[in-house]
């Protein structure tokens, strides 16, 4: 035990005896008001249990019970748990996008942990933005911390098919638009697509980010793939609470775990999983909070060293429950030991090498060998070119491979609502060879960079059998989505980036192997259009939106707030 009871951070609030002063006396009296005895908390690590549960978040609806399991683990290890409700960020219901509020949850997490008498934390999250937000905020405070992922929901079922949410939602919606299924089939799909609490059971953004958290070393081994309703999930939650107490006594803070080596291993993990493009933005932001500069070039460099080994939807065949029983992330990482930094610590073991010792792959079709890889390089490619001078990304493993080198004329939509209203207009004469372009959907233009990037294919093309087209935007897309969708174009069109200058009919070339995205217009025409461009009016006159608009950075730097991403000391508000 490195830390003595009188050295606990919470001791600054509670102290002991008359000599500790009036403030400590007041804090102890108010804790009695809460119904606790002195021996229940004095001299023990106080563990904050941050819970993103709410009635409107189906991915987290079970976290009320999991928080109780965490607290049980804290008590059993000799700690004192305190549960704090924090923003829920429901991917399904929050509009225009929970990405608009990721940084708000990060701020809430940071200030709550800093301002209360806590010695360590357990973070309960999982639905897309909650994982990075919680870890961004916690990294900024740097307390001993364990992350508890919400876990994937059970596989969906419809007739004789196993469904993956929301990959099969997109698939069957297009089947309906093509006239291949009707309302009765859709009603059955509604009942079978999401059968339990938990995050999407494909390798979407939620599972990508929770796997990244486990690879970073801030979750218990195997935690990221345990199904949300499995009894093993409750056991993992209790073990996380117990471990948080041990981290406090040994003073193992996040800064000792979230190193450059850890972030590089998280990037390698995400790419080898064929994970969500959203992880690019979030990991860059998370690393920034750890004082580490992670860039798009790091993703591209690492992508060339790891193959895609997880046969998971939307780029593969299986779902997260299959991955879990195939061995989960510990088994998966044994396939990558040549590129991982094995001698770094994790919350559960002295080294990552120790954590992986004994992990076995039980289904080699789910977790592939190197010579049976789904793709020879990581599942996300970083593009450069005159349309994206600061970068763009494409999840090429989930695209029609014939479109990865493609030149076609652009059809431009100035905003998402216009696109929705006109995409099926025959007057646009859209063919399968066209390149669909959506702008004003980035961090400022969206606002919040919504998941608009999987632009719909016109109904009449779907009826002809077309299921993929090249689509380009400064938006994001759901990690459960698929297709030849170029995303995160930076700088975004709303601030005058090159995407703002594209016009219908312009030729655009996508070449994933060359990592290139190019608009074919002359330099003179480029300069003329740039001179004619005028900035759109500001969206927010007040409130959080105004703060967001003032401080948000671009996709290539993680979409953090500038004043939060900057390095600098913040005093710990110890009380006299």
Task: Identify any residues that bridge with 413 across adjacent strands, giving them in sequence order.
Answer: 438
Residue 263 has pLDDT above 80, yes or no: yes
Local structure of 82: helix, strand or coil: strand
pLDDT (tens digit per residue) in 312-365: 999 999 999 999 999 999 999 999 999 999 999 999 999 999 999 999 999 999
- pLDDT at position 19 is 63
Local structure of 471: helix, strand or coil: strand
- Cβ atoms within 10 A of the Cβ of 317, count? 13
Question: Phi, psi at residue 574, to the nearest 5°?
Answer: -60, 145
pLDDT (tens digit per residue) in 157-212: 999 999 998 899 999 999 999 999 999 999 999 999 999 999 999 999 999 999 99
DSSP 83-140: EEE-----TTT-SS-GGGGHHHHHHHHHHHHHHSS-SEEEEEE-STTHHHHHHHHHHH
Local structure of 472: helix, strand or coil: strand
- pLDDT at position 575 is 59
Number of residues that make up the chain: 576
CB 63 within 8 A of CB 29: no
DSSP 375: B
**Closest C-alpha among 208, 239, 231 to residue 348:** 239
Residue 539 has pLDDT above 90, yes or no: no
**Closest C-alpha among 234, 297, 239 to residue 264:** 297
CB 396 within 8 A of CB 367: no
Three-state SS for 306-333 is: CCECECECCCCCECHHHHHHCCHHHHHH
Local structure of 411: helix, strand or coil: strand
The torsion region of residue 274 among left (phi > 0), alpha (psi -120 to 50) and beta comes to left
- pLDDT at position 417 is 96
DSSP 494: G
Residue 227 has pLDDT above 80, yes or no: yes
- pLDDT at position 161 is 95
DSSP 507-563: EEEEETTTTEEEEE--HHHHHHHHHH--PPPPS-SSHHHHHHHHHB--GGGTS-BHH
Residue 576 has pLDDT above 60, yes or no: no
Residue 231 has pLDDT above 60, yes or no: yes
Cα separations (Å) of 188 from 163, 167, 191, 245?
A: 12, 16, 5, 46
Q: What is the mean pLDDT of the chain?
A: 96
- Cβ atoms within 10 A of the Cβ of 454, count? 20
- pLDDT at position 277 is 97
278-289 and 130-141 helices cross at what angle (nearest 10)?
A: 10
Local structure of 205: helix, strand or coil: helix
H-state helical runs in 15-56: 22-33, 38-41
Give the CB-side neighbour count of residue 370, counting CA atoms within 13 A.
9
CB 262 within 8 A of CB 300: no
Q: Exposure pattern of 79-106 as b/e (b: 16+ CB <10 Å)?
A: bbbbbbebbbbbbeebeebbbbbbbbbb
- pLDDT at position 395 is 96
CB 332 within 8 A of CB 309: yes
Cα gap 469→174, rounded to integer Å: 13
pLDDT band at 570; cut points 50, 70, 90? confident
Q: What is the largest CA-CA distance in the chain?
A: 82
What residue has token string 């759109």? 536
Give mean pLDDT, residues 239-257.
98
Residue 492 has pLDDT above 70, yes or no: yes
- pLDDT at position 132 is 98
Give mean pLDDT, residues 553-575.
89
- In the chain, the domains with their CATH numbers are 1-43 (no CATH), 44-154+196-356 (no CATH), 157-192 (no CATH), 381-532 (3.50.30.80)
Of all residues in the chain, the percent with pLDDT exceeding 70 is: 99
| C-alpha 235, offset from chain centre | 24
Three-state SS for 376-408 is: CCCCCEEEECCCCCCCEEECHHHCCHHHCEEEE
- pLDDT at position 20 is 76
Cα separations (Å) of 212 from 439, 446, 524?
A: 30, 26, 45
Cα gap 179→454, rounded to integer Å: 20
- pLDDT at position 567 is 73
pLDDT (tens digit per residue) in 392-424: 999 999 999 999 999 999 999 999 999 999 999
- pLDDT at position 572 is 84
Residue 238 has pLDDT above 70, yes or no: yes
**Closest C-alpha among 421, 562, 436 to residue 487:** 436
Q: Exposure pattern of 529-564 as b/e (b: 16+ CB <10 Å)?
A: eeeeeeebeeeeeeeeeebbbeebbbbbbbbbbeeb
Q: Who contacts 157 (Cβ-Cβ below 8 Å, separation ≥6)? A: 163, 192, 195
Give mean pLDDT, residues 137-156.
98
| C-alpha 239, offset from chain centre | 24
pLDDT band at 573; cut points 50, 70, 90? confident
């Amino acid at each position: 035990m490195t830390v003595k009871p009188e050295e606990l951070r919470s001791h600054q609030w509670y102290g002991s005896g008359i000599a500790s002063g009036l403030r400590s006396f007041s804090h102890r009296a108010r804790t009695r008001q809460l119904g606790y005895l002195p021996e229940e908390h004095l001299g023990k690590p106080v563990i904050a249990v941050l819970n993103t549960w709410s009635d409107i978040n189906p991915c987290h609806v079970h976290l009320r019970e999991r928080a109780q399991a965490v607290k049980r683990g804290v008590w059993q290890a000799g700690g004192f748990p305190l549960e704090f409700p924090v923003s829920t960020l429901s991917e399904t219901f929050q509009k225009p996008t929970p990405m608009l509020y990721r940084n708000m949850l990060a701020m809430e997490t940071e200030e709550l942990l800093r301002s209360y008498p806590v010695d360590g934390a357990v973070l309960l999250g999982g639905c897309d933005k909650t994982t990075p937000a919680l870890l961004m905020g916690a990294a900024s405070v740097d307390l001993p911390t364990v992350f508890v992922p919400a876990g994937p929901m059970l596989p969906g079922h419809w007739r004789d098919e196993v469904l993956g949410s929301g990959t099969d939602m997109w698939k069957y919606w297009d089947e309906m638009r093509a006239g291949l299924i009707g309302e009765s089939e859709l009603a059955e799909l509604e009942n079978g697509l999401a059968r339990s609490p938990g995050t999407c059971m494909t390798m979407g953004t939620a599972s990508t980010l929770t796997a990244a958290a486990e690879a970073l070393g801030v979750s218990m081994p195997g935690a990221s793939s345990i199904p949300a309703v499995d009894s093993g999930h409750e056991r993992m939650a209790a073990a996380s609470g117990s471990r948080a107490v041990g981290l406090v006594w040994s003073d193992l803070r996040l800064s000792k775990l979230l190193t450059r080596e850890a972030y590089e291993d998280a990037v390698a993990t995400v790419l080898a999983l064929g994970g969500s493009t959203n992880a690019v933005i979030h990991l860059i932001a998370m690393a920034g909070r750890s004082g580490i500069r992670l860039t798009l070039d790091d993703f591209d460099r690492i992508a060339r060293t790891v193959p895609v080994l997880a046969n998971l939807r939307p780029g593969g065949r299986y779902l997260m429950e299959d991955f879990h029983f195939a061995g989960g992330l510990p088994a998966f990482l044994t396939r990558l030991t040549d590129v991982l930094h094995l001698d770094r610590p994790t919350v559960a073991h002295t080294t990552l090498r120790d954590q992986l010792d004994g992990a076995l792959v039980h289904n080699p079709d789910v977790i592939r060998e190197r010579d049976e890889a789904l793709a020879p390089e990581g599942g996300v490619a970083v593009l450069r070119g005159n349309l994206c001078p600061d970068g763009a990304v494409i999840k090429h493993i989930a695209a029609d491979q014939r479109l990865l080198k493609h030149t076609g004329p652009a059809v431009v939509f100035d905003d998402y609502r216009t696109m929705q209203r006109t995409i099926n207009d025959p007057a646009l004469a859209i063919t399968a060879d066209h390149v669909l372009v959506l702008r004003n959907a980035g961090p400022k233009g969206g606002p919040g960079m919504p998941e608009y990037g999987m632009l719909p294919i016109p109904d009449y093309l779907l009826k002809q059998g077309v299921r993929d087209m090249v689509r380009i935007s400064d938006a994001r897309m759901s990690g459960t989505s698929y297709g030849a969708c170029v995303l995160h174009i930076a700088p975004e069109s709303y601030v005058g980036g090159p995407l703002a200058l594209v016009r219908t009919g312009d030729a655009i070339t996508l070449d994933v192997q060359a990592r290139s995205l190019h608009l074919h217009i002359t330099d003179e025409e480029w300069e003329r259009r740039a001179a004619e461009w005028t900035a759109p009016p500001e969206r927010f006159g007040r409130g959080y939106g105004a703060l967001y608009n003032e401080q948000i950075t671009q996709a290539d730097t993680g979409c953090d707030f500038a004043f939060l991403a900057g390095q600098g000391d913040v005093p710990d508000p110890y009380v006299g």
